[in-house]
Structure 1
Amino acid sequence: MKIQNIFFLLLICNCSLYAQHTTEKWKVFELTLNGSTEGNPFTDVNLTGRFIKNKDTISVPGFYDGDGIYKIRFMPPNEGKWNYVTLSNVKNLTNKKGSFVCTPAQKDNHGPVAVKDSFYFAYADGTPHYSFGTTCYGWVHQGDSLAEVTLQTLSKGYFNKMRMCIFPKSYDWNNNEPVYYPFEGSPLKNWNYNKLNPAFFRNIEERIKQLDSLGIEADLIVFHPYDRWGFSSLDRATEDLYINYIIARFAAFKNVWWSMANEYDFMQNKKMSDWDYYIEQFATKDKFHHLLSIHNGVQFYDHTNPYITHVSIQEENTYKAKEYRTKYKKPVIFDECRYEGNIPWSWGNLTAPSMTEKFWRGFTNGGFVGHGETYVTEDPIRLPGESSDILWWSKGGVMIGKSPQRIKFLRQIIEAAPEELKPIPLFTWAPFSCVGIEHEYYLGYLNDAQPRSIVIDLPADASYNVEVIDTWNMTITPLEKKFSGHSLIGLPGKPYMAVRIVRNK
C-alpha cells in the first residue's frame, strides 16, 4: 500500500479533520471535523472557519451535521492557494489548520448570480443571467422517486430558477406529510426547537446540488404561512438558530438565492420590523452575498431597502415591469403572475396562451417573469384538498401545460440577443412594448392584438432586417425587404405576434 494511502486511512481513522486538497473556483470546499455529541451541539458549540489568501480574509460559520460531525463550507472566489484555520469554544475543534488550492472554473461553472448595472443579472464570470423561473414549493419534501421525475422534467431546459420552500408546506394538493422534519421531535407539534434535524437539511442541499447540475438557481423560501406544524410561528431564538444554520449550511452553494418569504404579508404573527430583521441577518451573515428578496401576497414590501437585491413580486400585470424598475432601480421579477392550470382558485387557471403572453409582456418591458402550473387531471372533479393529483406548483413531477415550450422559445430569443436590453420606444401605441438597443436591435411584442400590419419609425440613415415571430407556434419568419425610416411592416393578422428588428452592419 502506498504511503499516501496509509496516511489517508490514518487521517480518517483519527477522525479529527478531513478536507479536499483542491476545489474548483465557486464550488464548495468542505472541512469535516469530529467532535463531541454531549450537551446540545446546535447551541453549545461555536465554530468558525477563517480562510486567507494574500490580503483576502473570509470568515464563515460552521455547523453541526449530527453524529459528532461538524462541518465548515467555503466557496472560494479566487484561484490559488487558500490557507484556513478553525476557531471554536471547543478545544478539539479549534486551531485546526490547513490549505487547499482553488483551481480554475470549468466550462459550465459560471459562479453565483449577482445584480449587474442596476437592472440586470450576471454570473460571477460576467455571463448574463436572464431569470426564467418556475415554482415548485414542496418538491424537496416528496421523496426521491418523485424528485427524480421533477429533475427529469427540469432537464428539458425550460427554466433556470426554481422557487422552493425550506419548511414543508400545508395547503390544497399538498397535504401529505414530508419525508423529513426540520426539528427533532414528532408530528404534528411535539418539537424540540433547540435541536435541528440534519437529515432534513441534508435532503435540501442534495436537491440544491441536483439543480446546480442542471444550471438552475435554487430560490430558497425561508418562511411561509402555509403551515400545520408550528414552523410559521417560531420564537426569535428558534428563528435565529434556524437562520444561522441554513446560512452556514447552504451559503457555500453557488446557485443559492434567498427569498425571505412566500407572501410575507399573510403571516399575521410577524411585524414589518421582523422582516427587516431577517433581511439584515442574511445580508450581513452570508459572506458570499447571494441574491436576497422578499415575496408578497397583496402588499408590496419596500424594495428600496438597500439589503434587498431585486424586486420579487406577486403581480399579474407583468407589463408594469418598466414602471417598477423605474421606481425601485433594481431588477424586477414577477415570481408569481398567476399559473397555467384549471383549479378553482382564480390565481391558478390561466390558459397557456395567457401565461406565455405574461412572459412576453414582462420581458419586453424590461422585467423577468416566473412560471407555475396547476392542472387537476382527475375525473370526477373533487374539492380542493381532496384530490390526489400531483400538481407541478405543489410537488413537482411532470408538466402537462403548453406554455413551458413557448417560454423556452422566448428564453432562446432573449439569450441570443445583445446584453442588457432596455425598454425603448418603437411603437406609437402604448400597449405594445419593446426592448432593445436604440438604433441597433429591437424586440417588440404586440400582445393579443391581430393587426395585418404595423407602422414603425426606424432611423432613416440605416437599413434593418425584420423577422416576424409567432410566439405561440414558435416560428420566426424573415421578411425579404430591408427597412428604414417610416416603415410599414406586414403581419399575418394573428394574435401573440412579435417582431425582431436588427440593423444591417
Structure 2
Amino acid sequence: MVYNPLQYKTRHTEALTLNSYLRIFIALLLLVTASRIEAQKPQNDSAIMGYATPYRMEWSGNQGVFVRKALLKEPDIRQPLTFLHTDTGPKGSSKYLAWFLARDKGEFAILWCYLNDSGHDFWCWLYRFPSNQLTTVHFQGDYHFTPPVEPQPDSSVSNFRIGIAPLYEGPNFIYKDWSRRAGSLSKLTITPATPLNVKGSSTPETQEMTALNIIPLHDVTVPEKNGWRDSGWTELHTLAYDKERNPFYLILYSNATKGFVVDINRAHTYTADFGEKVVFGKSQQPEDPEVKTKENPPNTEVLTNTVKPYELYQIVLHNKTPHENPYQEVLLEADITTPDRKTWKVPGFWDGEGNWVVRFVPTKSGEWTYKTRSNDPELHNQFGGFTCANGESGREPLPLLQVRPNPTPHFALRDRVPLFPVALSFPTPDNPLSKTKKPEENFSLFQKQADALAELGANRLIGGFLLDTAMSTNEGGSLFIKNDPSIINPLFFQWLDRRVTYLNFKGIVPDIGIARNWDSATKPFTDSQLRWLWRYVVARYSAYGVIWNLTDNLNDGNQRDISAYAQLTRQVDSLKHILTARVSERAEGAPNIVLTQIEWLDYVTLQSTSLNALELLHNEERLQVIRDSSAAPDTIKARKRIWETYLRGGFWEFSPESNIELTEETRKAYLLCAKFFQQTRFSRLEPHPEMIGKPGETEQDRRNRRRSKQSIDAQPQLTEELKKLLKEQSQGSGVYTLCNPGREYVVYFTAGGSISLDLLEAVGTLKVRWYNPRTGEWKEDNAVMGGGYETFTAPDAQDWVLHIVRKERKPKTTEQRM
C-alpha cells in the first residue's frame, strides 16, 4: 500500500468531525435535561433567621425548622417548618403575608409572617395547638424573602393525628347550627389558594370534602384601617376532621363568605366558599322547637323524668360506630336549657364500649330540656327533657360545698348554712387493695372505712390525687389500660363512681385532684394527655359533691402550668365546685405570699411549720387552711397547735402525706375541737387580740390597745402594729381570742393563767362556761354583765377554752347536714 498523507489527513479529519458532533450533541442533551430538571425544581433564595424568646424560626427557601425553647418542665420542641402560602401584606406595614406550618407528634403551629423583600426584624401571628394560644411575636434577625412557587410538593406526615381540641373561649357567634363546642359540614368545595402575582384565566382544580366535624378554636378581630380595607372584621378559626380523622384548619369571616382551609397533614392551603358569613356577638342558635319535647330518642336513657333540685341527673347514650380510641376521638356535649331559659354547656364522657354519659345537677324547679352535639352522628342532635320539682324521691341531695366570704370566710352548704369542716383521711395506705380479694370484698372494706370516718364526724376526705399510687388503682383495675396515658380504663372510673357516691351518701365530700407532687407525677405525660384526662375527670365528677384540689405542691416553678388546669376546671364544671391547691413553703420556711393571692384559689391551703403565716395573710380576707404534721407525735403540742390555728383565724388539717400517722389522741383532740366550734356561730368569729389585756393594766393601756386596732381598721396597710400585738400575744401570755364583739367570745388559754377581757360592746347578762379541750366536758361559771372589763382565770394550769355568749341569744348548733 502506498502511503498517501493527504488521504490520511482527510480520513482523520472526518473522524474528528464526527466525534466533535457527537460530543456537542451529548453536551446539548445534558444541558437541556438539566434545564428541564432545574425548571421543575422549586428554586428560592429566601433566608429567614428570626429569634423571639422562647421561639426561633429558620427558613432556607425550601425547608426550615421552628423551635420553642424549654419552658419549666417541658423540653425544647423542634418542629419541621413548611411553607404554605403567600398573600399581599397590609399597605404601610409589609409587602407579603407569608403562611408557614410547623408540626410534629400530634402538635402543630401556624405562623402568619409580615415580611418585605428583606429586613432586620418582622412581626408574626403565631397559633399553637393544643394549647390554643394565638399571640403576636416580634422576631428579630436579618432576612430576605422571595415568595416560593405554589403549590408546593406534598409534605405529608405519616399517620399524623392530633389530640382533643381545646375549648373555644371567644364571643358567641351564629353560623349554621354550630355551637361554641361543635358543628358539622356535610359538604365543602375547596380550591387551591391563588399564588401571589399569578396571572391568567386558567381554572384551578376543585376538590370536594364531605362529612366534616367542626371544633371552634378561637376568634381574631382585625381593626379598621388595617392596610387591607378601611373597615375591620372578625375571623372564626376552627378545626375540622374528615371521616379518616385527617385534620384541617378553617378560617371563616364576618365580612365575606369565602375563607381558607389548611390541610394540616399535606401542608396545602385552599380557599372555600362557606355559603354565609359568621355573625359575632349574638346568642347561639335560636331554640329548636324539637327540643321542647320531653320524649327521649330510642338510643337515650335517663335515670328518671322527674328529679328534685340538687340531685344528680344522668343521660346515657349509645352508639354502634366503632372508634379506635373513643376516649380521645369523640366529642360529646349537651346544651342544657334551664327553667329560666339559660343555657349550660355540659360535656359528656365515654363510659366504655358504646356507652356515653352526660351528668349534671339541676338547681331549680321547673322544666329542663337538653340537646346534644357530637362529632359522632349517632350521638349528635339527641334531645329530651325532664321535670325538676320539690318532693320526695328516695335519694339524698348532693353535699355541695362553697366558700362564703361573709361575715368571715367559711365553708357552707348550698343553702348557705355554715359547715365546720372535719377533714380526715383514710389510714395509710389510703386505698388498700388486696389481690386475693374480689372487687366486692375490697369495696366492702372501703365502705367500712368510710363508715368509721362518718361515725367520727368527718365531712371531708382529703387526698384523692389520681396520679398517686394509692389512688391510681381500685376494684376496676388501673387508671390507664397497659399504662398508656392515651387510653383510660372505664372500669376504674365506674368503681370510683361507686366510691364517691358512697362517700356523699355518708355526708363526706372527697377531694379529687391530679397529683400530690406535681413536678414528678406529671412528668411522664404530655400536656395534651394530661389536659384530656383532667377534662374527662371534671366532666364525670362535677355532678357529685367534691372539692377540686389540684395539687399539694403549688410553687413558683409550676404555678403557670397548674393555673392552666384551674382555668380548664372552671370551663368544664357547670356547678363551680370549690377549687384549691396547697401552696408550698419557700426554702426558708416562710409562706409564698404571692401564690396565695392567685385569683382562682377559692381558699388557701398552707403547708407551714409556723402559724405566723395566718397573720401575714390576715388582710387578704380569704379562708385559710393550715396543713400540719409537725406536732403529730406529741399529743399536747398537737392539741395546742390545733386550737391556736383556729383562734388565729385559720382551719386545721392533718397532712396525710407525712410518714407520721395521726395518733388516736391527736385525732380525738381535733374532733373535740370541732365539736366545740359546731356549737358556736363560728362563721361570725374573727381574731381580736386587742381585746385581751393583762390583769391590773391601767386605763391608758386599754385605750392604747383599742386605738391601735382602730387605726389598723381605718388603714389596712398599717399592719405592723397588729403584728406586734399578735407577736406579744403568742410569745407572752399564750392566750388567743376569737370574737363577734358584743355577742360571742372564745378565748383559748394554752397554759392556764388570767386575763382582762374587753366586754365594752356587750349588753346585758353574759353566760360564761369553760370547755375542757382534753375531755370535751363543760364547766359552768358565774354570769357576768357586759359593758366593761372582766378578769377571767382558768381553772388550772392546763389548756382551757373560755366561751362567753349573750344569755338571751343561745348560739345556733350547726348540724352536719350533708
Shorter-chain TM-score tier:
0.7 to 0.9
Q: 1:128 aligns with which of 405, 412, 418?
A: 418
Question: 1:427 is matched by which residue type in structure 2?
Answer: I
Structure 1 distance, partners of 2:632, 2:550, is 27
C-alpha contact (below 8 Å) 1:292/1:309 kept by paired residues:
yes
In structure 2, C-alpha distance between the alignment counterparts of 1:323 and 1:462, rounded to whole Å: 36
CA offset digits 1:438-461 (Å, max 9, x no partner): 1110011112x222x333232275
Q: How big is each residue's C-alpha offset from its partner over 1:4-36, in whole Å with a ceiling of 9 and x where there is no partner?
A: xxxxxxx99x65434421222222100001113
Q: Confirm or deny: 8 A CA contact 1:138 1:164 kept in the other structure.
A: no
Q: How far apart, CA to CA, are the structure 1 residues paired with 2:523 and 2:517?
A: 6
Separation in 2, partners of 1:139, 1:240: 25
Q: Percent same amino acid among aligned pairs?
A: 18
Does 2:807 correspond to 1:504?
Answer: yes
Q: Normalised by the size of structure 2, how large is the TM-score?
A: 0.51
Could you say what secondary structure the match of 1:499 adopts? strand
| TM-score normalised by the chain length of structure 1 | 0.81
Which amino acid in 1 is paired with 2:667? P
Question: Is 1:492 matched with 2:795?
Answer: yes
The answer as to 2:578 corresponding to 1:314 is no
Contact 1:25–1:105, Cα closer than 8 Å, also in 2: no
Where 2:486 maps in the other structure, the secondary structure is strand
Deviation at 1:128, TM superposition (A): 0.7
* Pairing partner for 2:738 from 435, 438, 461: 435
Alignment of 1:337-376 (within 5 A): 337-338=628-629, 347=630, 349-371=632-654
The question of 1:247 aligning with 2:538 is answered yes
Amino acid paired to 1:356: R
1:206-221 equivalences under 5 Å are 206-221=498-513
CA distance in 2: counterparts of 1:322 and 1:102, whole angstroms:
46
CA shift in 2, pair 1:24/1:352, >3 Å: farther
1:27 to 304, 308, 311: 311
User: What does residue range 280-359 of structure 1 map to in structure 2 within 5 Å?
Assistant: 280-299=567-586, 300=592, 302-318=595-611, 320-326=613-619, 328-334=620-626, 336-338=627-629, 347=630, 349-359=632-642
Match of 1:414 in 2: 677
Between the aligned partners of 2:576 and 2:471, the Cα distance in structure 1 is 34
Letter in 2 for 1:420: R
Equivalence for 1:378: none
| Farther-moved stretch of structure 1 (79-88 vs 197-206) | 197-206
Say if 1:96 and 1:496 are closer, same or farther in 2 by CA, change over 3 A: same
1:442-461 matches, within 5 Å, as 442-447=745-750, 449-451=751-753, 453-459=754-760
CA distance in structure 1 between the aligned counterparts of 2:550 and 2:518, rounded to whole angstroms = 14
Give CA deviations for 1:258-289 in whole Å, capped at 9, x if unaligned: 111022449xxx63321221121112321211
Code of the residue aligned with 2:307 in structure 1: it is: T
CA separation of 1:465/1:313 partners in 2, compared to 1, >3 Å: closer, same or farther?
same
Compared CA separation, residues 130 and 141, structure 1 to 2 (3 A): same
Between the aligned partners of 2:784 and 2:303, the Cα distance in structure 1 is 62
Distance 2:501 2:471 in 1: 26
Alpha-carbon distance change, 329 to 248 in structure 1, aligned in 2, over 3 angstroms: same
Letter in 2 for 1:237: S
Residue 238 (1) aligns with residue 529 (2): yes
**Deviation, structure 1 residue 70:** 0.4
1:51 counterpart residue number = 336
Q: Distance in 1 between matches of 2:562 and 2:640?
A: 33
Structure 1 residues 97 and 151: alpha-carbon distance in aligned structure 2, compared to 1, 3 A threshold: same
Separation (CA, whole Å) in 2 of partners of 1:281 and 1:374: 26
SS in 1 for 2:747: strand
Equivalent in the alignment of 2:355: 69
- The CA deviation string for residues 111-148 of structure 1, in whole angstroms up to 9 with x for no partner, is 52112126222211111122221234863463424312
User: Contact conserved, 2:736 with 2:747, CA < 8 A, in 1?
Assistant: yes
Paired with 2:380 and 2:341, the residues of 1 have a C-alpha distance of: 22
- Find the structure with the greater CA-based Rg: 2
- Runs of 5+ in structure 2 lacking a partner? 1-295, 434-441, 587-591, 694-727, 809-818
Closer, same or farther: CA 294–222 of 1 in aligned 2, 3 Å: same
**Contact 1:348-1:374 at 8 Å conserved across structures:** no
User: SS of the residue aligned with 1:91?
Assistant: coil
Query: Contact 1:356 / 1:406 at 8 angstroms: preserved in 2?
Result: yes
- The CA deviation at 1:364 is 1.6
Give the corresponding residue for 1:197: 489
Q: Cα gap change, 1:374/1:184 in structure 2, threshold over 3 Å: closer, same or farther?
A: closer
The letter of the residue matching 2:308 is: E
C-alpha separation in 2, matches of 1:479 and 1:283:
50
How well do the aligned residues superpose, as a CA RMSD in angstroms?
Answer: 3.0
Distance 1:401 1:132 in 2: 15
Q: In structure 1, which of residues 211, 217, 223 is the aligned counterpart of residue 515 of structure 2?
A: 223
- Aligned residue pairs total 449
Q: Give the equivalent residue in structure 1 for 2:558.
A: 271
Would you say the 8 A contact 2:583–2:595 is kept in 1? no
Q: CA deviation at 1:159?
A: 2.1
In the aligned structure 2, how far is the partner of 1:468 from the partner of 1:18?
55
- Structure 2 letter corresponding to 1:99: G
CA contact (8 A) 1:310 1:330 kept: yes
Going from structure 1 to structure 2, the CA distance change for 1:277 and 1:412 (only over 3 Å counts) comes to same
Counterpart Cα distance in 2 of 1:329 and 1:176:
36
How many Å separate the matches in 1 of 2:763 and 2:798?
A: 31
Instruction: Write the letter of the residue equivalent to 1:236.
Output: D
SS in structure 2 at match of 1:72: strand
- Deviation (angstroms), 1:371: 2.9
1:491, distance to aligned residue in structure 2 (A): 2.0
Give the Cα separation in 1 of the matches to 2:357 and 2:471: 34
1:112 corresponds, among 392, 400, 413, to: 400
Cα distance in 1 for residues equivalent to 2:391 and 2:504: 14
Question: How far apart, CA to CA, are the structure 2 residues paired with 1:111 and 1:152?
Answer: 16
Given that residues 28 and 252 in structure 1 are in contact (C-alpha distance below 8 angstroms), is that contact kept between their aligned partners in structure 2?
yes
How far has the Cα of 1:204 moved from its partner? 2.2
Match 1:150 to one of 449, 460, 484: 449
1:101 pairs with 2:366:
no
User: Are 2:755 and 2:792, in contact at CA under 8 Å, matched by a contact in 1?
Assistant: yes
Separation (CA, whole Å) in 1 of partners of 2:657 and 2:566: 30
Unaligned regions of 5+ residues in structure 1, if any? 1-10, 186-190, 339-346, 376-383, 385-390, 394-399
Measured at CA, do residues 215 and 262 of structure 1 come closer, stay the same or move farther in structure 2, by a change above 3 Å?
same
Contact 2:472 2:479 in 1 (8 A): no
Q: Are residues 405 and 271 of structure 1, via their aligned partners in 2, closer, same or farther at CA, if it must alter by over 3 Å?
A: closer
Q: Post-superposition shift, 1:469? A: 1.2
Of 406-415 and 288-297, deviating more is: 406-415
- For 1:283 and 1:296, the matched residues in 2 are separated by 19
Mark the CA change 1:149 to 1:233 in structure 2 (over 3 Å): closer, same or farther.
Answer: same
Does the 8 Å contact 2:768/2:804 carry over to 1? yes
2:644 is matched by which residue type in structure 1?
R
Structure 2 SS opposite 1:246 = helix
Could you say if the C-alpha distance between residues 17 and 458 of structure 1 is closer, same or farther in structure 2, counting changes exceeding 3 Å? closer
Question: 293-302 or 434-443, which moves further after superposition?
Answer: 293-302
Distance 1:234 1:102 in 2: 41
Aligned mate of 2:688, from 396, 410, 424: 424
Deviation for aligned residue 1:165: 2.3
Question: CA separation in 1, counterparts of 2:472 and 2:383?
Answer: 46
Asked if the contact 2:766/2:807 (under 8 Å) is kept, the reply is yes
Q: Match of 2:738, as an amino acid?
A: V
